[in-house]
């Protein structure tokens, strides 16, 4: 890619990340072509199950009235979809709407693939927690997507076994460590939890809670802070617990992990709001025995959580009907009927705060039937989500985490060294792509 083109993409990414006024945001919503003055047909790429049934509500209701028809095209998720979107965009043939994970937004924006729809989404911002909305604005006045689902993090534990072993639910990470050690003394063959080096998103969420900002910018240069003090604190904490044997060091989502949860050999899990679905499959014999609490805090009295997962609905710069597409995106993620359908048909936990305790979320998950306040507490936790700081090569950082932390966890070696490897690989990749990187 020519240097001049690369510098333009860098500057665009910088503008949307820190609110620089050096350049106007790409994909301006000033182009209101396709504002529903006549029949409009939109295409939406998404991986969410049951989305066709949700979109049908639009096509039979508001869409019919406004002559805006949306067609769902089912896609793979993750990096596969990001690559497909960018490839289509290079040919000028990206769909009107795409589902995008929050950490993918900087990559798509820096490649000028997403439109700024700020002028077309009305008061949508009021429906979301500040930390959630920030993920789709990248800290600027632009709006590059509408939040759809989120994964606020929380602490899950076996209430019956905590009582059996005389343990108190930890409210700080220091208490968490002491709880892990106390359990080992009382039941040497039992672990509080495991550190899974297969789950970069979990580690990123924990770092986010601690105040980490992995990607920031200065002028037209990116700065990578994966080895910042906040993340170093998280890495040292978990590395220390693994090294002393206070927690397990095996990956999650394996038959062995499922068995440990189902038999009470592991009695807690640091996870997100979607955990009940996983536990239903992984530990079916322990239904009704678990409870959920806020994530432990780094300092007593703090009230902040990280996020693990979540996605948004964005309008592409290739769309000839951006205003119409933005109208649908806002409806999909703020309308009461749409949100109820998303919960029922797609099983998502909505980003919109008004939907988090209504409809499908008025009663607890069946697996947590003994905790009637489950979703009320989850909604309170979701509002404390810390701001994120993503960059254009999250995929490289995540893959390096899996490799470096995987080896460190297996060998019970220095997590700080693994973090440095992750930092160096991410910086090297940015430089290889032609981005300017500051020290």
- Give me the tens of pLDDT residue by residue for the chain, a chain 439 residues long: 323 233 333 333 333 333 332 223 344 444 554 444 669 999 999 999 999 999 999 999 999 999 999 999 999 988 899 999 999 999 999 999 999 999 999 999 989 999 999 999 999 999 999 989 999 998 788 999 999 999 999 999 999 999 999 999 999 999 999 999 999 999 999 999 999 998 999 999 999 999 999 998 888 889 999 999 999 999 999 999 999 999 999 999 999 999 999 999 999 999 999 999 999 999 999 999 999 999 999 999 999 999 999 999 999 999 999 999 999 999 999 999 999 999 999 999 999 999 998 888 999 999 999 999 999 999 999 999 998 889 999 999 999 999 999 999 999 999 999 999 999 999 999 999 999 998 6
pLDDT of residue 89: 98
Inter-residue contact 381 to 397 (CB < 8 Å): no
Are 157 and 261 in contact, with CB atoms under 8 Å apart?
no
Provide the 8-state DSSP code for 26: S
As beta bridge partners, residue 194 has 248
430 phi, psi to nearest 5 deg: -60, -45
Name the token pair of 420.
């440095």
23 vs 148: CA distance, rounded Å:
28
Task: Scan for tokens 């998720």, then name that residue.
Answer: 77
End-to-end C-alpha distance for the chain, whole angstroms: 24
d(CA 60, CA 63): 6
pLDDT on residue 65: 94
pLDDT of res. 3: 30
Output the pLDDT for position 198.
87
* Collapsed DSSP state (helix, strand, coil) of residue 127: helix
| Dist. CA 101–CA 113, nearest whole Å | 14
Number of other residues whose CB lies within 10 A of the CB of residue 313: 25
> What is the SS3 assignment for 348?
coil
249 phi/psi in degrees, rounded to 5: -125, 25
Residue with tokens 């798509």: 108
3-state SS class at 314: strand
Strands (E), 109-159: 146-158
pLDDT recorded at residue 12: 38
Tell me how many helices (H) and strands (E) the chain has. 17, 9
Helix 255-263 vs helix 275-282: crossing angle, to nearest 10: 90
Cα 209-214-220 angle, rounded to 5 deg: 140
Beta strands in 198-285 (DSSP E): 215-218, 221-224, 268-272
Q: Which of 22, 14, 6, 425 is nearest to 216 (CA)?
A: 14
Q: Which two tokens stand for residue 7?
A: 């510098």
Residue 216 dihedral angles phi and psi, to the nearest 5°:
-140, 175
Q: Which residues pair with 339 in a beta bridge?
A: none
Q: Tell me which residue of 300, 296, 290, 297 sits closest to 163, measured CA to CA.
A: 290
Distance of CA 426 to the CA centre of its chain: 19
Query: CA 252 to CA 194: how far, in whole Å?
Result: 8
Three-state secondary structure call for residue 392: coil
- Are 335 and 46 within 8 A, CB to CB? no
pLDDT in the model for residue 46: 97
Residue 179 · residue 167 · CB < 8 Å: yes
């Amino acid at each position: 890619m020519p240097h001049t083109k690369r510098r333009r993409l860098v500057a665009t990414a910088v503008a949307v990340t820190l609110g620089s006024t050096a350049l106007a945001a790409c994909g301006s919503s000033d182009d209101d072509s396709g504002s529903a003055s006549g029949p409009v047909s939109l295409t939406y790429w998404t991986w969410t199950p049951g989305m066709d049934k949700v979109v049908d509500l639009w096509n039979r209701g508001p869409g019919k009235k406004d002559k805006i028809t949306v067609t769902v095209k089912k896609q793979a998720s993750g990096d596969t979809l990001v690559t497909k979107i960018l490839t289509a965009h290079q040919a000028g043939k990206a769909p009107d709407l795409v589902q995008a994970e929050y950490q993918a937004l900087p990559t798509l924006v820096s490649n000028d693939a997403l439109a700024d729809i700020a002028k077309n989404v009305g008061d949508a911002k009021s429906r979301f927690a500040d930390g959630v909305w920030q993920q789709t604005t990248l800290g600027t006045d632009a709006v590059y997507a509408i939040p759809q689902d989120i994964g606020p993090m929380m602490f899950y534990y076996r209430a019956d076994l905590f009582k059996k072993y005389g343990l108190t639910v930890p409210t700080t990470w220091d208490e968490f460590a002491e709880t892990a050690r106390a359990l080992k003394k009382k039941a040497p063959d039992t672990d509080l939890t495991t550190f899974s080096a297969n789950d970069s998103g979990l580690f990123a969420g924990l770092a986010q809670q601690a105040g980490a900002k992995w990607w920031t910018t200065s002028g037209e240069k990116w700065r990578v802070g994966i080895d910042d003090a906040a993340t170093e604190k998280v890495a040292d904490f978990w590395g220390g617990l693994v090294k002393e044997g206070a927690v397990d060091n095996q990956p999650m989502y394996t038959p062995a992990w499922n068995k440990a949860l189902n038999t009470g050999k592991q009695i807690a899990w640091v996870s997100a709001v979607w955990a009940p679905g996983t536990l239903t499959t992984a530990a079916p014999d322990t239904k009704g025995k678990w409870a959920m609490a806020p994530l432990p805090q780094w300092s007593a009295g703090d009230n902040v959580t990280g996020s693990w997962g979540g996605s948004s609905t964005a309008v592409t710069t290739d769309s000839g009907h951006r205003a119409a597409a933005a109208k649908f995106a806002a409806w999909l993620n703020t309308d009461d009927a749409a949100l109820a359908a998303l919960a029922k048909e797609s099983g998502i936990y909505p980003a919109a705060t008004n939907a988090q305790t209504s409809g499908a979320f008025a009663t607890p998950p069946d697996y947590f039937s003994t905790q009637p306040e489950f979703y009320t507490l989850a909604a309170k936790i979701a509002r404390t989500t810390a701001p994120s700081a993503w960059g254009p090569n999250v995929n490289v950082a995540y893959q390096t985490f899996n490799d470096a932390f995987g080896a460190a966890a297996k060998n019970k070696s220095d997590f700080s060294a693994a973090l440095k490897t992750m930092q160096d690989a991410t910086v090297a990749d940015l430089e290889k792509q032609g981005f300017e990187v500051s020290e």
